[in-house]
Amino acid sequence: MLTVLHIQDFVLIDQAQLALTGGLAALTGETGAGKSILLDALGLAVGGRADRGAVRQGAAQGVVAATFEPRANHPVWALLEENGLASEDDQIILRRIQTTDGRSRGFVNDQPVSIGILRTVGEALLEIHGQHDGRGFLSASAHRGMLDEFGGLRKKTADVSKLWRAWRDAEVALEERRDERDAAAREADYLRHVYGVLEKLDPQPDEESELAARRTALMASEKVSDELAGAAKAIDEGGIDNKLSASLRCLQRANAQLPEAEALREAAAHLDAALNEMADGRATIERAICQFSADPEELDQTEERLFALRGEARKHGVTPDELSGFRDKIRKALEDVELGEAAFTDLEYAAAAAKLKFEKLAKTLTKDRTIAAGKLDAAVAGELAPLKLGKAQFETRIETDPDSPSSAGYDHIEFMVATNPGAPAGPLKTIASGGELSRFVLAMKAALAAKENRTVIIFDEVDAGVGGAVADAVGERLARLAKDAQVLVVTHSPQVAARADSHWRIEKKQTKNQTTTRVIGLTPEDRVEEIARMLSGAKVTDEARAAAKQLLGAPVKKPARKKLAKAS
């Protein structure tokens, strides 16, 4: 329920505050008094389009705030929570500040929000229907949701939407796997060739550094071998070992003559050690000669292997040490190609199963919608005759196309009307005139009222162009709607205004320097005067007051009969 509407410096309104109650509220006043200003202000508060000229002349900014008290299970609470706007309070305050430069700011419960979020919250709470503005009723995209709401099909529609998403996700996974499989198949021959080359090459981790070190050693071995040969030759050609041996034999013979001579024994020992060391050195030189002897074939083989590793690495954009891992990666890709068919078949099955589940529930939903459409058409038809639209026909047209599925099923739904007998039915927005449209909307709202979640419904001159019994029927249906939702109606019809639970008069006040619009809550006595004005025009007569009381259901005192004078 909309409990408070506060307006400050908006167009012709300097300051206004409406404390509203539930039920049906009527807004009346002379033509041009500013009733539309009130609705425009409320529309601004719930995210409507901002107009640069909306700020009252002389003011820096205009402010409109609307306070709502939705019931505890209203969907708007979940909407607030989704957007981080949850509140422990049972009120929702939508506020809009409009500046003279056309800029505006939106607030929900005093938290700044984008105008888009403000509009989303506002649309969940309030619905405005003007003479030329059917809002959701004119949009075919909204008709399906209205029918689902009327038929109690929201849960089934949500389930269809979930199955649609599951099907689409399965199809996307299948398509991605198909692309991967096709790409792998196109590259399979090339991958097999590369893998064969690498398998033959058989690269090993750290092999390049070992080969490079061996190549360096082999390239240096020729010079090293020459030096070692020279060392061996020097020993051999110098005859040092012969000389040392001859000297040692002499010392040994001398020592035999003088065994007690320590010096002879020591000299002999040193020469014997020297001969042994020289023998060890000669053996070591021989071993070194064998180790570093240059083998041209080994050098060629080492260089060929090293250059092959480096060349293959450059070809594939990796380092030589990464070739082994690259080979394993190619092997895995080839295994995937071979094993991919099994995985692909699983994905095909999953997509087909998801599609089947969607199709089954979507077909059931179509049947349920067809049944609900018949009931809705009958309900709306029952509302048309009293609203002077008895010759009109209303039809919920369902076009089912299994070849064009969507998250809502197979159905395209649109409300169609024919205003004259024999005339072809067409979309509501193109067939109905302004006054007819308002009454069609009212008829549909009366049929849908118990199925919707709107907190506030506003009708702007829904009674345009009608009077008498038709206007009374309009008022009766508005009052019926007001049992399920708060209804505000801008009206020129006394029959409609008399049905209201509360009544507000909008009047324009002009002075020499300015024009302002005021909103006045009416007492029961004020209502009699206002409805009498609506009945009689500029001059309010006693007869008009009596008629107004009768419309309001108040007792009317009958005027006393005058006695006729007796003839003399």
Q: What is the pLDDT of residues 107-135, one digit of tens each?
A: 999 899 999 999 988 888 887 766 545 45
Q: Which bin fits 347, alpha (ψ -120 to 50), beta or left (φ > 0)?
A: alpha
Per-residue pLDDT, 558: 52
DSSP class of residue 406? B
Encoding tokens for residue 349?
């099955």
pLDDT-derived band of residue 358, with 50, 70 and 90 as boundaries?
very high
- Of the listed ranges 15-19, 114-118, 404-408, the one predicted with least confidence: 15-19
pLDDT beyond 70 at 560: no
Q: Are 279 and 177 in contact (CB under 8 A)?
A: no
Q: What is the mean pLDDT of the chain?
A: 83
pLDDT score of 12: 84
Neighbours of 532 (CB within 10 A): 23
CA distances from residue 532 to 31, 100, 225, 536, 538 in whole angstroms, order as listed:
16, 40, 132, 6, 10
Query: Model confidence over 284-329: pLDDT tens digits?
Result: 888 877 777 667 787 888 888 889 898 989 999 999 888 998 998 8
Quote the radius of gyration of the chain (alpha carbons, Å). Answer: 51
The letter for the amino acid at 560 is A
Q: What letters, b where the CB count within 10 A reaches 16 and e where it falls short, cover 64-98?
A: bbbbbbbeeebebbebbeeeebeeeeeebbbbbbb
Instruction: Name the architecture of domain 1-130+487-521.
Output: 3-Layer(aba) Sandwich (3.40)
What is residue 557's three-state secondary structure? coil
Residue-wise pLDDT tens digits, 510-554: 777 777 888 889 999 999 999 999 888 768 888 888 988 988 885
Separation between Cα atoms, residue 282 and residue 214, nearest integer Å: 26
Q: 268 is written with which tokens?
A: 């002999």
Determine the Cα–Cα distance for residues 12 and 312; give it in Å rounded to an integer. 84
The yes-or-no verdict on residue 566 having pLDDT over 50 is no
Residue 102's pLDDT is 80
Q: Give the rounded percent of residues in the chain with a pLDDT score beyond 70.
A: 90
Q: Are residues 184 and 340 in contact, defined by beta-carbon separation less than 8 angstroms?
A: yes
Question: What pLDDT is recorded for position 461?
Answer: 74
- Hey, where are the domains in the chain? 1-130+487-521, 180-338, 523-555
pLDDT for 65 beyond 50:
yes
448's CB contacts (< 8 A; 6+ apart) are 146, 149, 150, 376
Q: What is the pLDDT of residues 465-476, one digit of tens each?
A: 667 777 888 888
Residue 465 is predicted with a pLDDT of 63
Among 248-252, 349-353, 434-438, the minimum mean pLDDT is found in 434-438
CA–CA separation, 246 and 239 (whole Å):
11
Nearest to 425 by CA among 393, 400, 447, 456: 393
Cα–Cα dist 306/302, whole Å: 6
| Residue 59 DSSP code | -
Q: At 243, is the secondary structure helix, strand, or coil?
A: helix
For residue 568, pLDDT over 60 is answered with: no
Which of 164, 130, 167 shows the shortest CA–CA distance to 42? Answer: 130
Q: 44 and 96 in contact (C-beta within 8 Å)?
A: yes
pLDDT single digits (tens) 86-98:
777 888 999 999 8
Residue 53 DSSP one-character state: G
Of residues 376 and 183, which shows the higher confidence score?
376
The pair of structure tokens assigned to 452 is 């919707």
